[in-house]
């Protein structure tokens, strides 16, 4: 690992100022991906801007229609939050499925969303609920945020400060997990929202997290597992690897979607 500068700002304003002064630096949230990449010399930022001392990014706030989670909220905190569990239980359940106990106590929602790993869980919730990503500069709708594998709409030193989730009428998340990493081989988030039915899939797409319109249309007509029978995502749109073929992932998407609907 190469040497680097290290900064511990105490506000979003200070963090973004430091990042602007060090364009080859990186924000450090939970470090679950970045530090591992640095150890393997896959990443060599000139500076790290540690966000762990920024209190405004740790808040979890909720009202009757919205749950807003600060970007530095740990997975374990989201899983244990009564405010979240009473409004969007599926989001709390999803957070409790991430990794192991150590990962859940270090990893953050902001880091996961900004990293946009194609097998991560949070992107499915963000896209499945139609959430809004709040940054230091603007608000970005979920449908406009995820651009591809490890790619997002974030620009330069733009910093995710929170994610705002609308409270859904019904929602659930089911995943077929890798037994070692517990990443999603296939994860499906389904939701009945005020703007309609949404179905988001993670772990399977060749371009990262994505929505399944055919399933959304079917569930809009009949919210039942049987409504999804015969609906499959083409294997040509999915990834094959040592864990599962594209054809198997296609099968799993339908199965996990049906289980999620039944759970919701």
Quickly list DSSP for 121-177: SHHHHHHHHT-EEEESS-EEEHHHHEEETTEES--TT--EEEEEEEPPSEEEEEEEE
Cα–Cα separations (whole angstroms), residue 53 to 20, 114, 177, 222, 246:
18, 19, 33, 47, 42
Of 225, 222, 93, 85, which Cα lies nearest the Cα of 167? 85
The answer on pLDDT for 137 being more than 80 is: yes
Give dist(CA 164, CA 183) in Å, integer: 23
**With pLDDT > 70 as the criterion, what percentage of the chain qualifies?**
100
Per-residue model confidence as pLDDT tens digits over 183-203: 999 999 999 999 999 999 999
pTM to 2 decimal places: 0.95
Banded model confidence at residue 114, pLDDT cuts 50, 70, 90: very high
Residue 4 token pair: 């680097």
Name the class of domain 170-263.
Answer: alpha beta
Is the pLDDT confidence value at 205 over 80?
yes
Which sequence spans correspond to the domains of the chain?
1-51, 170-263
| Alpha carbon distance 116, 156 (integer Å) | 16
pLDDT of 161 strictly over 80: yes
Strands (E), the chain: 5-7, 26-28, 47-50, 60-62, 66-70, 132-135, 139-141, 146-148, 151-152, 160-166, 170-177, 184-193, 196-202, 210-211
Q: With bands split at pLDDT 50, 70 and 90, how would you rate the model's confidence at 38?
A: very high
> What local confidence, expressed as pLDDT, does residue 2 receive?
83
Fold: same for 1-51 and 170-263: no
What backbone phi and psi angles, to 5 degrees, belong to 138? Answer: -165, 180
Fold of 1-51: 3.30.43
User: Which pLDDT does position 150 carry in this prediction?
Assistant: 96
CA gap 172, 188 in Å, rounded: 8
Q: What is the DSSP string of 175-197?
A: EEE-TTT--EEEEEEEEEETTEE
> Which one, of 194, 212, 192, 193, lies nearest residue 202 by Cα?
212
């Amino acid at each position: 690992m190469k040497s680097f500068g290290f900064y511990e700002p105490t506000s979003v304003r200070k963090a973004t100022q430091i990042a602007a002064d060090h364009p080859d630096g990186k924000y450090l949230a939970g470090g679950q991906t970045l530090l591992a990449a640095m150890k393997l010399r896959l990443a060599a930022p000139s500076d790290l801007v540690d966000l762990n001392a920024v209190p405004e990014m740790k808040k979890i706030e909720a009202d009757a229609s919205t749950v807003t989670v600060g970007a530095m909220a740990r997975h374990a905190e989201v899983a244990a939050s009564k405010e979240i569990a009473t409004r969007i239980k599926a989001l709390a359940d999803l957070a409790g499925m991430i990794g192991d106990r150590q990962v859940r106590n270090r990893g953050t929602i902001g880091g996961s969303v900004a990293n946009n790993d194609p097998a991560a869980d949070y992107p499915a919730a963000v896209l499945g609920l139609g959430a809004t990503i709040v940054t230091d500069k603007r608000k970005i709708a979920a449908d406009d945020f995820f651009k591809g594998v490890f790619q997002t709409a974030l620009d330069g030193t733009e910093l995710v400060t929170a994610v705002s989730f609308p409270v859904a009428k019904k929602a659930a998340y089911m995943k077929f997990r890798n037994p070692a990493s517990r990443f999603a081989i296939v994860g499906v988030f389904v939701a009945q929202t005020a703007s309609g039915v949404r179905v988001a899939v993670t772990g399977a797409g060749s371009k990262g997290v994505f929505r399944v319109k055919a399933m959304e249309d079917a569930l809009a007509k009949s919210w039942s597992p049987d409504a999804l029978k015969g609906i499959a995502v083409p294997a040509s749109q999915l990834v094959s690897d040592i864990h599962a073929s594209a054809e198997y992932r296609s099968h799993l998407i339908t199965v996990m979607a049906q289980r999620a609907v039944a759970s919701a």
